[in-house]
């Protein structure tokens, strides 16, 4: 039995402490949800005199709404643009204009214009990593044009909620392969480390107004080949939609500075080499190029590709030159085969596998060479493999991998295995039947 | 006096486990990354093996004295003076670290969520839990450890598992981090990771089965080593090396990185509860030991009246550091470099001398 | 003034409590054993009482002393021996007694003093009884005078009883009839005294007691007995002829179930013990009677199974019961409050059930039950928190369902305790935790609400509690209707009046529903009350406050005991590595041991293979595999 007196004392102590805490606290940090306004996406542009121009896309809760009537899409977001020397300076200006307090904890996307990116984004990355409200899982995008325009023209038409719109837009690479997953935390880690370089999604406003303007883009073929579906970067894609924002290709960094850009097709190869490719529709020309039909139009085979296993990257130093071997094993499904020849069985299947492997190998090689010659940036993380050959951090640091990379020699080995052929197991040309 | 306390093996191991491993939440993965680079986990492993060895020596010596706490051993080694001196040393050790930990946890919470609440208020909240815990006594404390520590361990495992998509194994390279020499050199200092093992020598008289103390020590050492090594390894796997030294709260940073689909993200706030539990457990047992050592050292009759003064002392000590950095400095530079001496060398010394003296006594008795 | 002083002292000096009771389930040390013996010897007299008694004794004559001693319950013999051996040998410790208490003790004594030994003369007896019961005013007190003839002599006699409390037919047939008309029948009675003849031959009633003091008779008569006085005997007889109106065995009202027996206890002590015996069918079941209440003398029974319940546990229960000094005891709810370890702990430390099967199963684990006359609820002790969240139906349901139900119940408890506070913490402190869609939804629904979240939660929670309390108080079927209608209309109206946001209504409703899922009534109350504390803590510092609340709450629970058994056992302290029937249900055939924290006299409940049929014949081929050993 506890003595009552003792127990009383305990209750009194607890009561005292509680009262003390309550009276002294006054709920410092408590803030109601409706006293804040939530930034969904933020754009950074270069302003005058080295200032930054911040555009913040705000969610308007009443319009996003709940209850019986759906929200109004047009009013779901509103934008505020301010100019200040720092991000927090901009936030202060914005807060003095807005009735509610800005909150970044639900921001989904940070768009930085390539103008800024080319000068280096280290200081912004540091901001994003230090302040609690900026999330490590925010998407990072580089817009070719002004970020402000990008945010202004993007409209969540299929969603009521703008945050969902940006998330889904930035995740579209998982099914297309035309863009990259670029979280702030990953980009920061890559910029910070000396064994790999960062990439970020490439965004822009699609400036085409009408499908008649497609000619402008599709005018001349690239590399003497037919322009394939991924051969664009974000600003010029033959597509017309109410929302003009486009997510295609990738911005390549060297250190914290943007070094160049990849188009959609090259991004697929980037994903292949880094092992991030999820599932992508991929088009290869009909292996029997000679059999172009009477209509004299190119025929294609569409595959759905994914990585059969993680790519194997090997590095060897020979005479101070890195020899890099990349083994890529893809597996796929035939989605369609337009030509007359049937690639579903036997010989044909083998022919298609070999052809597409070689086709992809060539493209990957040219992509790798582009990273070496044009960007001089090891975005595929070959350095991570090199690093494992070292025991001490200091030795690795003094090895200066980044300098070595520009002399490297590539050897790409690819293999494509077609596992399934879709709903058909063979295809009989119509001409045969007639 | 309190009634006879009895502690089961599992509870005692849980107490030690939390006392040793709660630093994972504070700064442990970062500090080892600072000391050993990418090989922080390796250094921790080596340190754990070393501590294991030291502990088995101590436990062998202790077998004769099982059922006595380290102060009793001090008494049989150097008499009352020895007991008081040893007691004061232990007191100083606890008084050095508990305010720092209190401040550390409070700063944690302030950074994580309560940004504009004054730090003293957050500390007051922690003190509230601490006082109640120390007031209700060791038995209640170990019971609640047995209840919550498995929960904490589960939470830690969940964080690690959820971070698997972020793992990149090449981040562990280069394998020796800042070099073998540095690992060994810093390793000695890092013996202090296990300085809370000292608590085992204090709860010795309360153990249900006195002879099991070595087993309890090994058990808790093994699991805390597991968690410590694992935490520093996971942290290095999630963030690349130079960046690992940048973050204030490694585990929190890891929970921030969790993203499993669009819905299961931004869950780090839920772990505040876990951090807080660990802090409450650590602090209240710390305060308990403070008062208990004081009582035992100076042979006082009552322990509970000491709680309030010591709470005030701890609270004040926690407020003294001017900023976050100096708090960290006290912990990393002052405490780390000293406490392993008190935890491991002092007991070894006391035990050694006590053993020799008791042997001499026996010999004399035999001679007579 | 004095109490404030003690409070202050207690706060600032942290004065230690009195030494607490040892963990009673361990074998008590010698000293303690002696202590407890002393306690039980002293019967229901505390230290104060004895002091007072001692002083009185010296003043009083020996006669009175003896009669008083005899009143003291079931330890007559020891007392008798003692009084023969002269009083000083007892040497009770005389302690200073506060004035008030001393006075009280005296006044209590004086009332009791009026009753003494039974007179030899029937006239005196009649007068005495009349004065005791104030017979001329008391309408329901009946006295029937008559004469009997024993061994050729006529004696005056009377019986007294309370009308309505006795079985009239029984009195007529088995007491009055034989005494009045058959008293000449017995033969071969030369060697027997008159008293013996009457007792042995003339009262064919199964429970007749010979009483020497009025008090004994009065106690019986007060409890539906009959007092029989016969001239010149110097003793009286009392017979148990209870026959009052009572409820029949009914269905349980608060512990509803679908499976399992549907009998419930009712208000009569003996009927309850009979129900229990009927369920248990065990000769080792002990029903130990204790009277509680200096005035009401409420019969209570300690029930336990002799060769299962730990004897120090039974001793402790007996010690606590016998030490209780109250005027009247009406219900087991009162007794619970008098017996519990900690009054301020926000959790019940005993389990009250109205189901005989539940009591039986707990007794079978080695626990002790307490039946109180007048209460359909039987107390079970000791219990742990996990017993309180089990429902009586659990063991009748198949293993998978019961386990699922347990989880749902635990979820309900967590909702009740924490849901409003977690909602408050997240919306006010940790907004990033919400999914963005939900966040925007809450933000827009709160746009027109004028109150801060904490206020609107408090409004709704209090309204809910109000509906609930009113629903119980309103008579008859209107109650439930009002509850549902009230909640619906109130919620809907509150939303449309922009008093609260619709999401908050969901939170409050789920909290309420969760609280209904708690099987123990008392535990439900405690959780409902505590959730307000969590709300306050959450409003101060969000999840940190909740963590503080949970930590302190768990500390108190871990500190608590129920009759010496730690409240959170077997988790804290961890007592067994085996599967126990706590959070998970154990398959029935796996419940091999009784809970070891109860230290029952036989730990093993059933052999490790309790289903004999699983042992297959050796060499039988099953599923292509040769069955080797079992």
Q: Where does A177-213 have alpha helices with state H?
A: 184-192
HSE-CB of B129 using CA atoms within 13 angstroms: 33
Q: CA-CA distance, A55 to A43, in Å (whole number)? A: 5
Those chains having 3 or more beta-carbon pairs within 8 angstroms of chain A are: B, C
Return residues 202-261 of A near C (CB < 8 Å): none
Q: Record the tokens describing residue A86, joined without a space.
A: 């720092």
Residues C228 and C125: their CA atoms lie apart, in Å, by: 10
Q: Give the domains, in start order, of chain B with CATH numbers.
A: 13-361 (1.20.1740.10)
Structurally, chain C folds into a number of domains equal to: 4
A32 close contact with C: CB closer than 8 A: yes
The reply to whether C231 and C347 lie within a common domain is no
CA distances C181 to A261, C160, C170, C177, Å, are 123, 19, 16, 6
CA distance A18 to chain C (A): 9
Please check whether residues C426 and C555 belong to one and the same domain: yes
Least confident of A261-265, A344-348, B343-347: A344-348
Residue A283 near chain C (CB below 8 Å):
no
Nearest to A31 among C428, C440, C442 (CB): C428
Contact between B121 and A25 using a beta-carbon 8 Å cutoff: yes
Nearest to B100 by CA among B308, B265, B283: B283
| CA dist., res. A334 & res. A330, Å (int) | 13
Residue C376, pLDDT score: 93
* Partner residue facing A393 (CB), from B38, B125, B168: B38
Residue C579 belongs to a domain: no
Q: What is the pLDDT of residues C72-122, one digit of tens each?
A: 444 455 545 554 444 444 444 445 444 444 444 444 444 444 578 888 889
Alpha-carbon distance of B348 to B356, in angstroms, equals 12
Q: Which residues of A touch B171 (CB under 8 A)?
A: 384
Q: Which residue of B has its CA nearest to A23?
A: B121
Of B117, B143, B305, the CB nearest to C558: B143
DSSP C566: E
The last residue of one of the domains, among C536, C565, C594, is C565
The whole-number pLDDT of residue B112 equals 85
C2 interfaces chain A, CB cutoff of 8 Å = no
* Position C320 in a domain: yes
* C-alpha to C-alpha distance for B12 and C166, rounded to whole angstroms: 62
Contact B177 A393 (CB under 8 A): yes
A64/C444 Cβ within 8 A: yes
Nearest to C337 by CA among C539, C206, C522: C522
In a mutational test of the A interface, the residue from C436, C503, C557 whose CB has the highest number of chain A CBs within 10 Å is: C436
* Å between A236 CA and nearest CA of chain B: 29
In the predicted model, is pLDDT for residue C237 greater than 70? yes
Lowest mean per-residue pLDDT among A26-30, A410-414, C507-511: A26-30
Domain that holds residue C378: 269-383
Please indicate, yes or no, whether residues C371 and C404 belong to a single structural domain of this protein.
no
Q: What is the pLDDT, as a whole number, of residue B230?
A: 93
* Averaged pLDDT for residues C248-266: 89
In a domain, C191, yes or no: yes
pLDDT for res C24? 43
Note the pLDDT of residue C46.
39
| Structural domain includes residue C355 | yes
Indicate if C87 and C203 belong to the same structural domain.
no
CB proximity A312 to B under 8 Å: no
How many angstroms separate the CA atoms of C162 and C133, rounded?
Answer: 10
User: Would you state the structure tokens that stand for residue B197, as one six-digit string?
Assistant: 């093992």
pLDDT at C63: 46
Min distance A376 CA to chain C CA atoms (Å): 39
Is C300 within 8 Å of C272 (Cβ atoms)?
Answer: no
Q: Assess C432–B contact: CB distance below 8 Å, yes or no.
A: yes
3-state secondary structure of C353: strand
Q: Are residues C547 and C464 in the same domain?
A: yes
Sorting pLDDT into bands at 50, 70 and 90, what band is C288? Answer: very high
Nearest to B116 among A28, A195, A394 (CB): A28
> What pLDDT score does B76 carry?
87
The domains of chain A, with CATH numbers, are: 32-262 (no CATH), 265-428 (3.30.300.210)
Q: Is A415 on the interface with B (CB under 8 A)?
A: no
Which among A94, A99, A85, A96 is positioned nearest to A57, based on CA atoms?
A: A94
Nearest chain C Cα to A77, which residue? C440
| Residues C410, C518 within the same domain | yes
Q: Do A393 and B135 touch (CB under 8 A)?
A: no
Smallest CA–CA separation between C529 and chain A, in Å? 15
Last-in-domain residue among C542, C565, C588? C565
Report H helices in C517-618.
521-559
**CA-to-CA distance for A138 and A181, rounded, in angstroms?**
10
SS3 B260: strand
Query: If you write DSSP's letter for every residue of C91-158 in order, what string do you get?
Result: -PPP----HHHHHHHHHHHHHHHT--BPPSSHHHHHHHHHHHHTTTT-TTEEEEEEEEEETTEEEEEE
Q: Return the bridge partners of B78, or none.
A: none
CA–chain centroid gap for C38, Å, is 25
C367 located within any domain: yes
Which of C356, C383, C410 terminates a domain? The answer is C383
Number of H helices, E strands in chain B: 16, 2
pLDDT in tens, C46-68: 334 444 444 444 444 444 444 44
- Same domain for C151 and C57, yes or no, is no
CA distance B287 to B301: 18
Residue C168 phi, psi (nearest 5): -60, -45
How would you class C107 by CB atoms within 10 Å of its CB: exposed for 0-12, middle for 13-18, buried for 19 or more? exposed
pLDDT tens digits, C430-472: 888 888 888 888 888 888 888 889 999 998 899 888 888 887 7
Specify whether C323 is located in the same domain as C177: no
Read off the pLDDT band of A294 (50, 70, 90). Answer: low
Cα–Cα distance between B54 and B62 in angstroms, integer? 12
Residues on chain B touching C542 (C-beta within 8 angstroms): 113-114, 272
Q: Which residues of A touch B132 (CB under 8 A)?
A: 14
Say which of B116, B176, B241 has its CB closest to residue A392.
B176
Residues C324 and C419 in one domain: no
Which of B132, B139, B173, B246 is the best residue to mutate to test the A interface, defined by the most A CB atoms within 10 Å of its own CB?
B173
Please give the residue of chain A at the shortest CA–CA distance from B254. A136
DSSP A72: P
Q: What pLDDT is stored for residue C108 in this prediction?
A: 45
Please give the structure tokens belonging to residue A387. 């690093």
User: Which own/partner contact pairs does C256-259 have at CB distance under 8 Å and 24+ positions apart?
Assistant: C257/C391, C257/C392, C257/C393, C257/C396, C258/C393, C259/C393, C259/C396, C259/C397
Instruction: For chain A, say whether C547 makes contact (Cβ under 8 Å).
Output: no
Please tell me the distance in Å from C595's CA to the nearest CA on chain A.
Answer: 23
- Contact of A161 with chain C, judged by CB distance below 8 Å, is answered with yes
The residue of C345, C537, C539, C572 whose CB has the most chain B CBs within 10 angstroms, and thus the best one to mutate to test that interface, is C572
Closest CA to C442 of A159, A168, B266, A59: A59
Are both C53 and C183 inside the same structural domain? no
Residue A10 contacts C where some CB pair is shorter than 8 Å: yes
> Which residues from B are below 8 Å from C547, CB to CB?
272-273, 276-277, 280
Q: What is the pLDDT of residue C367?
A: 93
Instruction: Say if C431 is an interface residue toward chain A (CB within 8 Å).
Output: yes
Residues of A in contact with B124 (CB under 8 A): 20-21, 24
Which pLDDT value is given to residue B337? 84
**Averaged pLDDT, A345-356:** 88
Distances (CA, A) of B77 to B12, B211, B352, C291: 26, 21, 8, 60
Give Cβ neighbours of residue C99 (< 8 Å, ≥ 6 apart): none
Looking at the complex, report in whole angstroms how far the Cα of residue B315 sits from the nearest Cα belonging to chain A. Answer: 14
Q: Which tokens go with A434?
A: 């007639």
CA B162 from chain centre, in angstroms, equals 26
Is 60 exceeded by the pLDDT of residue C30? no
C103 and C159 share a domain?
A: no
C177 phi and psi angles, rounded to 5 deg: -60, -55
Closest CA to C210 of C182, C232, C233: C233
What distance in Å separates residue A162's CA from the closest CA in chain C? 9
State whether residue C29 sits within 8 Å of chain A by CB.
no
Residues 121..150 of A with a Cβ closer than 8 Å to C: which? 133, 135
Which of C20, C543, C558 has its CB closest to that of B273? C543
Note the pLDDT of residue C25: 45
Distance of alpha carbon C226 from alpha carbon A25, whole angstroms: 70
Please name the residues in contact with B144: beta carbons below 8 A apart, sequence gap of 6 or more. B133, B281, C551, C554, C555, C558, C572
Q: What is the pLDDT along chain B (368 residues), one digit of tens a residue?
A: 345 778 888 999 999 999 999 999 988 999 999 999 899 999 999 999 999 999 999 988 888 887 888 888 888 888 889 899 999 999 999 998 999 999 999 998 888 888 888 888 889 889 989 999 999 999 999 999 999 999 999 999 999 999 998 898 888 888 888 888 999 988 988 999 999 999 999 988 888 888 888 899 999 999 999 999 999 999 999 999 888 999 988 999 999 888 887 777 788 888 889 999 999 999 999 999 999 999 999 999 999 899 999 999 999 999 998 888 888 888 878 888 888 888 899 989 999 999 898 888 888 888 87
Same domain assignment for residues C303 and C409:
no
| Residue A283 · residue A178 · CB < 8 Å | no
Residue C365 within a domain = yes
The residues that bridge with C370 in the sheet, in sequence order, are C302, C379
pLDDT in tens, A192-244: 888 889 999 999 998 888 888 887 777 655 555 667 777 888 788 888 888 88
Q: Closest approach of chain A CAs to the CA of C397, in angstroms?
A: 37
The reply to whether C405 falls in a domain is yes
pLDDT in tens, A63-96: 776 544 554 556 788 899 999 999 999 999 999 9
Question: Does residue C590 fall inside a structural domain?
Answer: no
Residues 6+ apart with CB under 8 A from A406: A372, A373, A376
pLDDT digit string, tens, across residues C145-188: 998 888 888 889 999 999 989 998 989 988 888 888 887 776 77
Q: Which residues of C touch A7 (CB under 8 A)?
A: 342-344
Number of Cβ pairs < 8 A linking chain B and chain C? 121
The DSSP letter of residue A372 is I
> What is the Cβ-side half-sphere exposure of residue B163, based on CA atoms within 13 angstroms?
27
Rounded CA-CA distance C216/C70 in Å is 9
Residue B253's nearest CA partner among B265, B235, B241 is B235
Closest CA to A393 of B33, B346, C442, C73: B33
Contact assignment for C559 to B132 by CB distance below 8 Å: no
Confidence of residue C556 (pLDDT cuts 50, 70, 90): very high
| Residue in C17, C21, C445 nearest the CB of A66 | C445
Confirm if C491 and C400 have CB atoms less than 8 A apart: no
8 A C-beta contact, residue B287 and residue B134: yes
Residues C541, A14: C-beta atoms closer than 8 Å: no
Does A5 touch chain C if contact means CB atoms closer than 8 Å? yes
Chain mean pLDDT for chain A: 85
Q: How sure is the predictor about C320, in pLDDT bands with cuts at 50, 70 and 90?
A: very high
Helix (H, G, I), strand (E, B), or coil: what is residue A245? strand
Instruction: Round to whole Å and give the CA distance between C14 and C29.
Output: 29
Collapsed DSSP state (helix, strand, coil) of residue C360: helix
Q: Is A168 on the interface with C (CB under 8 A)?
A: no
């Amino acid at each position: 039995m506890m003595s009552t007196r003792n127990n009383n004392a305990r209750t009194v102590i607890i009561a005292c402490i509680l009262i003390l805490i309550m009276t002294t606290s006054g709920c410092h940090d408590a803030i109601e949800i409706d006293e804040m306004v939530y930034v969904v996406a933020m754009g950074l542009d270069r302003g005058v005199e080295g200032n930054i121009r911040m555009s913040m896309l705000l969610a308007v809760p009443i319009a996003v709404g709940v209850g019986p009537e759906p929200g109004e899409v047009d009013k779901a977001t509103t934008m505020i643009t301010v100019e200040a020397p720092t991000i927090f300076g901009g936030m202060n200006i914005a807060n003095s204009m807005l009735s509610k307090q800005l909150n970044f904890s639900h921001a989904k996307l940070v768009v930085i214009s390539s103008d800024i990116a080319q000068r280096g984004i280290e200081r912004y990355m540091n901001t994003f990593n230090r302040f609690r409200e900026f999330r490590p899982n925010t998407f990072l995008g580089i817009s070719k044009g002004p970020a402000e325009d990008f945010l202004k023209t993007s409209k969540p038409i299929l969603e009521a909620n703008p945050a969902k719109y940006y998330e889904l837009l930035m995740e579209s690479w998982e099914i297309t392969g035309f863009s990259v997953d670029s979280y702030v935390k990953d980009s920061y880690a890559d910029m910070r480390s000396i064994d790999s370089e960062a990439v970020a999604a490439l965004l822009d406003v699609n400036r085409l107004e009408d499908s008649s303007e497609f000619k402008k883009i599709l005018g001349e073929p690239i590399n003497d080949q037919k322009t394939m579906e991924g051969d664009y970067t974000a600003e010029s894609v033959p597509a017309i939609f109410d929302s003009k924002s486009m997510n295609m290709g990738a911005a390549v960094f060297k250190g914290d500075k943007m070094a160049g850009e990849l188009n959609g097709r090259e991004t697929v190869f980037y994903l292949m080499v880094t092992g991030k490719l999820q599932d992508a529709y991929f088009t290869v020309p009909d292996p029997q190029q000679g059999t172009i039909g009477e209509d004299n139009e190119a025929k294609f085979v569409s595959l759905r590709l994914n990585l059969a296993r993680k790519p194997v990257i090997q590095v060897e130093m020979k005479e101070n030159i890195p020899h890099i071997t990349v083994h890529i094993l893809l597996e796929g499904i035939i989605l369609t085969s337009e030509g007359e020849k049937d690639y579903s069985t036997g010989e044909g299947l083998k022919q298609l596998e070999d052809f597409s492997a070689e086709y992809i190998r060539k493209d990957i090689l040219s992509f790798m060479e582009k990273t070496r010659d044009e960007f001089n940036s090891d975005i595929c993380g070959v350095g991570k493999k090199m690093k494992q050959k070292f025991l001490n951090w200091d030795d690795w640091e003094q090895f200066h991998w980044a300098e070595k990379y520009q002399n490297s020699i590539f050897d790409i080995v690819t293999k494509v295995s077609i596992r399934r052929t879709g709903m058909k197991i063979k295809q009989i040309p119509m001409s045969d039947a007639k | 006096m309190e009634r006879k306390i009895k502690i089961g093996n599992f509870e005692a191991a849980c107490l030690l486990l939390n006392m040793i491993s709660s630093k994972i939440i504070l700064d442990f993965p970062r500090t080892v990354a600072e000391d050993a680079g990418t090989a922080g986990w390796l250094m921790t492993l080596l340190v754990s093996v070393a501590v294991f060895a030291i502990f088995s020596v101590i436990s062998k010596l202790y077998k004769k004295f099982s059922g006595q706490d380290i102060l009793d051993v001090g008494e049989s080694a150097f008499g009352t003076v020895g007991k008081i001196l040893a007691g004061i040393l232990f007191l100083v050790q606890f008084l050095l670290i508990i305010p720092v930990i209190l401040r550390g946890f409070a700063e944690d919470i302030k950074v994580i969520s309560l940004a504009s609440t004054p730090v003293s208020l957050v500390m007051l909240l922690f003190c509230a839990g601490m006082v109640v815990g120390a007031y209700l006594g060791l038995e209640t404390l170990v019971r609640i450890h047995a209840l919550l520590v498995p929960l904490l361990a589960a939470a830690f495992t969940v964080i690690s598992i959820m971070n698997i998509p972020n793992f990149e194994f090449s981040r562990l390279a280069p394998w020796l981090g800042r070099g073998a020499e540095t690992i060994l050199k810093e390793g000695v200092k890092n013996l202090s990771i296990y300085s809370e093992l000292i608590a085992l020598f204090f709860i010795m008289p309360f153990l249900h089965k006195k002879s099991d103390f070595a087993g309890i020590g090994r058990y808790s050492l093994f699991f805390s080593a597991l968690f410590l090594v694992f935490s520093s390894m996971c942290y290095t796997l999630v963030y690349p090396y130079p960046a690992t030294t940048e973050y204030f709260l490694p585990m929190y940073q890891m929970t921030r990185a969790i993203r499993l689909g669009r819905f299961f993200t931004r869950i780090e706030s839920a772990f505040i509860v876990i951090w807080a539990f660990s802090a409450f457990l650590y602090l209240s047992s710390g305060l308990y030991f403070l008062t208990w050592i004081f009582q035992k050292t100076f042979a006082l009759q009552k322990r509970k009246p000491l709680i309030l003064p010591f709470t005030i002392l701890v609270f004040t000590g926690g407020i003294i550091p001017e900023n976050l950095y100096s708090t960290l400095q006290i912990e990393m530079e002052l405490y780390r470099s000293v406490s392993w001496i008190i935890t491991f060398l002092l007991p070894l010394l006391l035990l050694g001398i006590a053993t020799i003296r008791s042997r001499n006594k026996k010999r004399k008795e035999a001679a007579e | 003034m004095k109490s404030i002083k003690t409070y202050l002292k207690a706060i600032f000096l942290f004065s230690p409590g009195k030494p607490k009771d040892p963990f009673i389930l361990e074998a008590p040390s010698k000293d303690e054993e002696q202590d407890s013996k002393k306690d039980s010897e002293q019967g229901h007299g505390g230290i104060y009482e004895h002091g007072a008694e001692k002083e009185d004794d010296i003043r009083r004559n020996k006669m009175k002393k003896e009669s008083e001693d005899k009143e003291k319950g079931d330890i007559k013999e020891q007392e008798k021996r003692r009084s023969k051996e002269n009083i000083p040998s007892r040497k009770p410790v005389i302690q200073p007694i506060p004035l008030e208490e001393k006075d009280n003790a005296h006044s209590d004594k004086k009332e009791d003093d009026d009753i003494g030994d039974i007179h030899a003369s029937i006239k005196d007896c009649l007068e005495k009884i009349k004065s005791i019961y104030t017979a001329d005013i008391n309408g329901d007190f009946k006295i029937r005078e008559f004469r009997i003839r024993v061994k050729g002599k006529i004696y005056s006699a009377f019986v007294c009883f309370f009308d309505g409390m006795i079985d009239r037919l029984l009195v007529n047939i088995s007491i009055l009839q034989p005494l009045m008309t058959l008293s000449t029948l017995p033969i071969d009675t030369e060697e027997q005294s008159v008293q013996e003849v009457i007792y042995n031959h003339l009262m064919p009633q199964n429970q007749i007691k010979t009483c020497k003091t009025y008090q004994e008779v009065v106690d019986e008569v007060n409890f539906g007995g009959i007092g029989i006085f016969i001239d010149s005997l110097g003793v009286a007889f009392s017979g148990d002829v209870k026959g009052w109106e009572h409820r029949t065995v009914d269905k349980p009202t608060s512990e509803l179930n679908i499976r399992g027996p549907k009998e419930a206890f009712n208000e009569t002590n003996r009927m309850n013990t009979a129900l229990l015996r009927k369920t248990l069918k065990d000769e080792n079941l002990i029903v130990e009677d204790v009277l509680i209440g200096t005035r009401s003398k409420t019969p209570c029974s300690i029930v336990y199974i002799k060769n299962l319940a730990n004897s120090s546990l039974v001793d402790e229960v007996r010690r606590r019961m016998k030490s209780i000094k109250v005027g009247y005891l009406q219900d087991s709810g009162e007794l619970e409050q008098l017996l519990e370890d900690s009054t301020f702990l926000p959790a019940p430390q005993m389990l009250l059930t109205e189901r005989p099967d539940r009591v039986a199963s707990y007794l079978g684990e080695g626990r002790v039950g307490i039946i109180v006359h007048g209460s359909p609820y039987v107390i079970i002790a000791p219990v742990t928190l996990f017993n309180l969240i089990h429902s009586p139906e659990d063991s009748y349901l198949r293993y998978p369902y019961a386990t699922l139900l347990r989880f749902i119940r635990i979820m309900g408890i967590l909702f009740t305790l924490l849901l409003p506070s977690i909602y408050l913490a997240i919306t006010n402190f940790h907004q990033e935790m919400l999914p963005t869609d939900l966040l925007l939804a809450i933000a827009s629904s709160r746009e027109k609400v004028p109150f801060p979240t904490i206020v609107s939660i408090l409004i709704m929670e209090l309204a809910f509690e109000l509906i609930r309390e009113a629903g119980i108080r309103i008579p008859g079927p209107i109650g439930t209707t009002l509850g549902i209608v009230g909640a619906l209309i109130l919620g809907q109206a509150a939303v449309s009046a922009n008093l609260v946001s619709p999401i908050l209504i969901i939170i409050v409703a789920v909290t309420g529903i969760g609280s209904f899922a708690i099987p123990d009534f008392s535990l439900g109350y405690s959780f409902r009350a505590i959730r307000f504390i969590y709300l306050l803590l959450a409003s101060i510092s969000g999840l940190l406050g909740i963590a503080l609340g949970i930590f302190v709450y768990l500390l108190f629970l871990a500190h608590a005991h129920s009759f010496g058994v730690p409240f959170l056992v077997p988790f804290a302290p961890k007592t067994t590595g085996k599967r126990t029937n706590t959070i998970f249900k154990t398959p029935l055939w796996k419940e091999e041991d009784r809970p070891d924290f109860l230290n029952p006299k036989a730990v093993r409940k059933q052999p490790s293979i309790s289903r004999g049929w699983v042992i297959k014949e050796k060499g039988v081929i099953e599923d292509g595999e040769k069955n080797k050993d079992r």
